[in-house]
């Protein structure tokens, strides 16, 4: 399995690209070697859901805002639906992102892969109505989806 063969420094960097929570990365590294890619993916999910609010917020903070330009290749591809959006939609995303951050204290996080800018904007607006506890759990679920997609890219280089 490719991931098991990486030196620890490289494995740490690869995992950090998948999820920005240090505790998650440390626990994933400590669990190596994995018997299979499926075992790695299952363990990643278990570790993620065992973490707490501060760990989740740390992971969220490592993402660019939806629509924000970034040099990070995976984020750019994941948010490609924003690139061709009308200026009004991009401006609305920027405004609503700020409203979301003011309401919840962290940036809006969604698994943007395959979504249009309009779909992301609609989701952002719907989620603004949630109570903080519900929204934190939803955002954590979106991070879990992002992490899984990135891990799948990692183990299938």
Annotated catalytic residue, options 14, 55, 63, 135: 63
Calpha distance 151→28 (Å, rounded): 11
Q: How far, in Å, are 64, 67, 83, 126, 138 from residue 31 at the CA level?
A: 29, 35, 38, 38, 27
Any idea which residue has 């890219």 for tokens? 153
Strand positions, DSSP E, 39-111: none
* Whole-angstrom Cα Rg for the chain: 16
* Residues 117 and 85 sit within 8 Å (Cβ to Cβ): yes
In the residue annotation, 63 being an active-site residue is answered as yes
Packing angle between helix 117-127 and helix 87-104, nearest 10 degrees? Answer: 30
> What DSSP element (H or E) covers 66?
none
Which positions are catalytic?
Answer: 63
């Amino acid at each position: 399995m490719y991931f098991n063969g990486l030196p620890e420094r490289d494995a740490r960097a690869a995992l950090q690209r998948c999820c920005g929570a240090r505790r998650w990365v440390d626990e994933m590294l400590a669990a190596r070697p994995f018997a299979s890619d499926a075992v790695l993916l299952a363990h990643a999910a278990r570790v993620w859901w065992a973490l707490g609010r501060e760990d989740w917020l740390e992971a969220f903070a490592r993402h660019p805002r939806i629509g924000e330009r970034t040099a990070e290749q995976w984020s750019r591809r994941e948010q490609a639906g924003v690139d061709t959006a009308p200026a009004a939609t991009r401006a609305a995303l920027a405004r609503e992102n700020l409203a979301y951050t003011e309401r919840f204290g962290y940036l809006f996080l969604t698994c943007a892969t395959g979504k249009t800018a309009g779909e992301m904007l609609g989701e952002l607006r719907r989620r603004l109505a949630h109570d903080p506890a519900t929204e934190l759990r939803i955002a954590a679920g979106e991070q879990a989806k992002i992490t899984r997609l990135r891990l799948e890219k990692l183990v299938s280089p």
